Amino acid sequence: MRCFFALLCLILAASPAHAARLVAVRTFTAPGQARLLLELDPGEESTPATIQTRASPPLGAIAARGITWLGGVELDADLPVEVPVHTDGVRRVLLAVVGAGVQVTVELDQARLVRAEQIDPRAVIVDLLTSADSGSTTDGSKTGEGSAPPSAVSDELPTRAQLLAVVQGVDLLRAAGGARKTRPVVVLDAGHGGWDHGAVGPNGTREADIALQIVLRAAVGMRQRLDADVILTRDDDEFVTLRGRARIANQAKADLFVSVHANAAFGPQAWGTETYSMDTASDRGAQRVAARENAIARKEGLAEGDDLLAAQLINTGTMRLSRELAAHVQSAVCQRLGLVYGTQSVHDLGTKTALFTVLTRTQMPAVLFESAFVSNPTDERRLRAPYFQQTIADALVDAVGAWLDRQGDGAEESP
């Protein structure tokens, strides 16, 4: 504690000429854990923040606290100094100017280990972990001075790579008096991953690999063409739970969620493209697809009744918008594929509904896109082709752009 304040006093004596500004705080929680993304506007010629962390146990009526001090950082005037959370033992986040820096205080139900790391000139990650989580970290985070040894981070929390995606391409206007630019937040979810390879085609094509390639290509297009803030639930071959995927989107307060997959059937005859939104199964085929994609949910202990309850509680207001998004995706993909391969080579299976776990748990318009059937030899060959993947990705960018434009135009609600 003495070392912490001694170093703090030394740093206070120097005032940086080009201080970075703390411009946003995003909080992600899981049982017993929390991860904060502190977004910075580094300004011009700013130096990395000096980071100090410490933890305080509860004292009488005073809650336990996890404290991170960012030296050489200013507090943005538009940022609220109190952010209520009240989830998974995290009560609230308090922001305050302390000397030549900003103090971020997280009030907790119980004491936790605190560690922080600057992963980019625009981003600092703060982890708050219970002692029971001790182990090796899954993402290479470094421990701040005065904090406990590295601990495992729940796969329900976004990884370092995913949080980097949040700040990638953030365009902060630095002209005098310039305001921060507002950007749509799009979460792209590559289905399956890691040990969960999804469907496998007759020539060994894995659904997880195809989904990831399409998502990576679509992310580039959405950032460049739509100026969107794109968050990926995974950016490599790793396993992410269905609950974790939805949690990433919900806690990022995304504007929309697109889950990308490759379809499969019992035989090689089925082929084509279809897009789903959340509702009871529209037909037996939709029920079968949902059962296949939801299989992992049973291993996660997610009961069907739980999904139905979630759907009733949080998705009622987004179902119409999800159906509209599904229609945009299906139309754009089939149109682009028709231009490239000819309309006779496109099998438009239309939009459908089903209770996909990953859709029932998201709190924003969400769709699940089945690009083609990996079980069909022709579709499988196309899915493996980079040009086909790029065509699908470009169509997804078109669809999301058209859907966002419609929301911006204030279109009248459908009956």
Please write the tens of the pLDDT for every residue from 22-38: 998 988 888 888 999 99
Place of tokens 């995974």: 234
Asked if residue 91 and residue 29 are part of one domain, the reply reads yes
Tell me if 174 is assigned to some domain. no
Q: What is the pLDDT of residue 282?
A: 52
Tell me if 235 is assigned to some domain. yes
Tell me if 175 is assigned to some domain. no
Listed residues 100, 135, 154: the one ending a domain: 154
Has residue 154 got a pLDDT over 60? yes
Domain interval for residue 131: 2-154
pLDDT, one tens digit per residue, over 239-271 is: 999 888 988 998 888 999 999 999 999 899 999
Has residue 162 got a pLDDT over 80? no
Of 109, 137, 118, residue with least CA distance to 53:
118
CA distance 40 to 297: 37
Has residue 234 got a pLDDT over 70? yes
CATH of the domain at 227: 3.40.630.40
Query: What is the full DSSP assignment across 285-306?
Result: HHHHHHHHHTHHHHHTT--HHH
Percentage above 90 pLDDT, the chain: 49
CATH of the domain at 13: 2.60.40.3500
Of 179, 177, 180, 132, residue with least CA distance to 152:
132
Asked if residue 139 and residue 220 are part of one domain, the reply reads no
Host H or E run for residue 101 = strand 101-108
Asked if residue 298 and residue 201 are part of one domain, the reply reads yes
Q: What is the pLDDT of residue 298?
A: 53
Tell me if 106 is assigned to some domain. yes
CA distance 257 to 314: 15
Has residue 312 got a pLDDT over 90? no
- Name the pLDDT band for 313 (thresholds 50, 70, 90): very low
Asked if residue 330 and residue 230 are part of one domain, the reply reads yes
Q: How many domains, the chain?
A: 2
Of 357, 236, 384, residue with least CA distance to 294:
357
Asked if residue 320 and residue 247 are part of one domain, the reply reads yes
Asked if residue 386 and residue 292 are part of one domain, the reply reads yes
Tell me if 334 is assigned to some domain. yes
Tell me if 290 is assigned to some domain. yes
Per DSSP, the three-state class of 262 is: strand
Tell me if 176 is assigned to some domain. no
pLDDT, one tens digit per residue, over 42-88 is: 876 567 889 999 998 888 888 999 999 999 999 998 889 998 888 88
Has residue 20 got a pLDDT over 60? yes
CA distance 157 to 41: 24
Asked if residue 208 and residue 132 are part of one domain, the reply reads no
CA distance 172 to 9: 31
**R_g of the chain, CA atoms, integer Å:** 23
**Does residue 88 contact residue 32 with C-beta atoms inside 8 Å?**
yes
Asked if residue 190 and residue 106 are part of one domain, the reply reads no
Asked if residue 288 and residue 198 are part of one domain, the reply reads yes
Q: Which of 219-228, 323-332, 402-411 has the lowest mean pLDDT?
A: 402-411
CA distance 363 to 249: 8
Listed residues 106, 138, 154: the one ending a domain: 154
Average pLDDT of every residue of the chain: 80
Give ∠ CA 133-136-139 in degrees, rounded to 5.
105
Asked if residue 199 and residue 74 are part of one domain, the reply reads no
Q: Which of 245-254, 313-322, 384-393 has the lowest mean pLDDT?
A: 313-322
Has residue 132 got a pLDDT over 80? no
Asked if residue 20 and residue 100 are part of one domain, the reply reads yes
**Amino acid in position 404:** L
Q: Which of 40-54, 195-209, 288-302 has the lowest mean pLDDT?
A: 288-302
Tell me if 254 is assigned to some domain. yes
Asked if residue 137 and residue 14 are part of one domain, the reply reads yes
Percentage above 70 pLDDT, the chain: 74
Q: What is the pLDDT of residue 4?
A: 53
CA distance 43 to 347: 51
Tokens of 141: 């985070």
